[in-house]
Chains A and B, each alone.
Chain A
């Protein structure tokens, strides 16, 4: 390739393959359910396959938990609750701390398996998912013996058995977000990972077993929607924590209405990423890339709606297009990969449908030229220009590497448009003027507003949504509250 008229900055130095080695990982051919401290076969003997989305090969077969298995797991959790909840906070903290250390020790193995099972680039699973998961356990290990200080004069008590259902976009990290605060507060858990990405949760079960955590405190059941429904409906579950789609969140809320079950939901989003003319433009462009192409756009808090001030719109769009030329799409295990595989064939279909809809509704599409592998689920990073608030792709969560671009003229206009969505999870503001940042953080209806950065996570910072993005907070001191009662 040579420098073209269209792109005077064409890069011709291509990087040779640099795959992370897989010879150090340990995977079984078949995985069982983790109930009452042991790996047991599912009562109905059913299994399903988990697929590597980058080549569509089967990695392992995994047990499918029936409602009978759920019942067994809930009873194990119930039986473990009395002794676990009365164990001193300091002792509970030791177990959680041990889990964190064990994750760190096996960080490389976890990162490789996460990329194989879910399709995310190894750069992200290695540098973000796995270290953050360990950090969540470390952080909440610290709270276990300080609950009385977290809620002074309130006598916090655990709720009982928590049913936790997690999504496929950050499999290990979401397990950590759910387990760590539940354990620190003295609850016992039945956790269900997503059916397309069960492996790191099952590897986590091995770590939990190795840590010597009392049996029954954590039970991990694999399965699809029916398994999740059985957990939600089980009468002896005291609390449901769910991260996933808004549709399923609504179903859960309906199902448990009228029961004493407590609920936290972390659902979809359609984050507004707002670029002002006085922003550091090159860094804002990088921020746009991090906001929407991080984890193939499978991020509930992704900055999927871009708003650029009209005076800098053409510059930003030109720079963004040029930046996108340098994104490498391909093998998740290659250390140079920027965008990995779409998590499942089903999700790829969903994304394709939205792209078609965007075109049909008159959006102007832009995708960089890049070679895609022949096998597997792939989607080029995609921009949609010339769209408005009325376009379907602007309104609905796509959960893929697809960004809609709109322009704005005034601050009030962009606040209006940013809030004009049923969601309220995240937003980003780019300006070098501090006062403008504070003005927007007060006006935007979003659980998190990032200023001059995007998609930054920390165990000490609460995370959660407004409106149809859910309720309850995870992370930070606030993340303890949904697992406690005060009386």
Chain B
């Protein structure tokens, strides 16, 4: 029952409200699930397959990006039957390098764009930025919303901007970063999610990783609920990407429990859920090796790229 996708800013006066205390209570229940044995092994592997291995630094170099791509394809060759990560996420100037390095693999190249991370530029510059990344071969675009415009109540501007970027993306998937660390309240997170979903996002994403707090379970929960309600209203499945601050397997499993109990199995794959992270990968590998051998190994046995 996919509805006609006429893009219109939704009525933001009538969207569900969120109560922080109640949200924390629900999160508490997710975190108390005890994930052991087979469910742990399958959860860790699933999390691994969902990682967007990321480097977004001014000091990035071509060689660094190439190393990261190799790591993405060969996370830990000593362990058999490991999935590769979902994507490598870089700045637009490295998209070409990453694309070439990942040739022949199923790993996607994601590029941040639209004057990342602040988004403080004019629309034409943002569209050029996006176009450049797409031309370089990016499979996925991670854009940022204009938080200033959002906080001043100019929702139409935010909506139009996302819709314009989506158009430039063409076949590339669009992830819309809300930068929840700057949105102040859970109700604002819901409102921004609503705008992004109806403007055509393929994924909604919590953070750039440049602002604290980055991803939290609270904002991710609110965004998952928005995705759920959007699905119920339109029949369209949209993905979710918490990014920043998810550095351990334990936290990753808690996010998966939440995903499992809010959106369920159709979202439990890399097409609809990603972890924007870098250090998480080695922790997942350490836990998987521990499950395999029964003993923790020194971090020195896991490559740092």
Contact = CB atoms under 8 A, between A and B. Distances in A.
Interface of A: 2-3, 7-18, 123, 127, 278-284, 286-287, 290, 326, 335-336, 432, 452-453
A283 B228 CA distance: 15
Contact of A281 (B16, B37, B38): B16
A97 B262 CA distance: 43
The 4 closest A-B CB pairs, nearest first, are A283-B22, A18-B34, A12-B265, A280-B19
Interface in B228-263: 228, 231, 256, 260-263
B293 interface: no
Given A278-B17, A286-B22, A287-B22, A11 B265 contact: yes
Contact of B264 (A8, A278, A290, A432): A8
Of B32, B34, B261, the most chain A CB neighbours within 10 A belong to: B34
B156 interface: no
Nearest to B231: A8
Interface string B13-24: 000111101110
Interface in B56-90: none
11 contacts: A8-B266, A12-B264, A15-B39, A281-B16, A282-B22, A283-B23, A283-B25, A287-B22, A432-B17, A432-B19, A452-B21
Contacts of B16: 280-282
A335 B257 CA distance: 14
A13 B17 contact: no
A2 to B, nearest CB: 7
A127 B31 CA distance: 13
A28 B6 CA distance: 71
B18 to A, nearest CB: 5
Contacts of B262: 9
User: Does more than half of chain B's interface fall in helix, strand or loop, or is it mixed?
Assistant: helix
Given A18-B34, A335-B32, 5 more contacts: A9-B266, A12-B265, A13-B43, A17-B37, A452-B21
Contacts of A13: 39, 42-43, 256, 260, 265, 268
Contact of B22 (A127, A280, A326): A280
B36 interface: yes
A279 B268 CA distance: 30
B26 interface: yes
B173 interface: no
Nearest to A123: B32
A8 B40 CA distance: 24
A263 B276 CA distance: 61
Contact of A18 (B36, B225, B256, B265): B36
A283 B264 contact: no
B271 interface: no
A2 B265 CA distance: 8
Contacts of B266: 3, 8-10
A14 B33 CA distance: 11
Contact of B228 (A9, A287, A290): A9
A163 to B, nearest CB: 38
Given A13-B256, A17-B36, A3 B25 contact: no
B26 to A, nearest CB: 5
A12 B268 contact: yes
B35 interface: yes
Interface of B: 16-19, 21-23, 25-26, 32-40, 42-43, 225, 228, 231, 256, 260-266, 268
Nearest to B19: A280
A11 B258 CA distance: 10
A268 B228 CA distance: 39
Contacts of B36: 15-18
A3 B264 contact: yes
B225 A282 contact: yes
A290 B37 CA distance: 29
Contacts of A17: 36-37
Contacts, number: 92
B18 A280 contact: yes
B18 A283 contact: yes
A453 B263 CA distance: 24
Nearest to A286: B26
B13 to A, nearest CB: 12
B261 A326 contact: yes
A346 B256 CA distance: 40
Nearest to A328: B33
Of B22, B37, B256, the most chain A CB neighbours within 10 A belong to: B22
A283 B37 CA distance: 31
B265 A15 contact: no
A324 to B, nearest CB: 12
A281 B187 CA distance: 12
A441 to B, nearest CB: 17
Contact of A15 (B19, B23, B25, B35): B35
A2 B266 CA distance: 9
Contacts of A284: 22
Contacts of A282: 16, 18, 22-23, 26, 225
A326 B33 CA distance: 12
Contacts of A7: 264
Contacts of A16: 35-40
Contacts of B43: 13
Contacts of B17: 278-281, 432
Contacts of A432: 17, 19
Contacts of A10: 264-266
B121 to A, nearest CB: 36
A284 B16 CA distance: 11
Contacts of B260: 11-13
B19 A452 contact: yes
Contacts of B26: 282-283, 286
B225 A11 contact: no
Contacts of A326: 261
B25 A286 contact: yes
B231 A11 contact: no
B274 to A, nearest CB: 17
A212 B262 CA distance: 51
B276 to A, nearest CB: 21
A15 B261 CA distance: 12
Contacts of B256: 13
Nearest to A290: B25
A452 B32 contact: no
A171 to B, nearest CB: 22
A180 B262 CA distance: 42
Nearest to A278: B17
A69 B264 CA distance: 58
B265 A453 contact: no
B235 to A, nearest CB: 9
Nearest to B232: A8
A336 B33 contact: yes
B34 to A, nearest CB: 4
A453 B32 contact: no
Contacts of B23: 282-283
Nearest to A9: B264
B264 A336 contact: no
B151 to A, nearest CB: 20
A314 B115 CA distance: 43
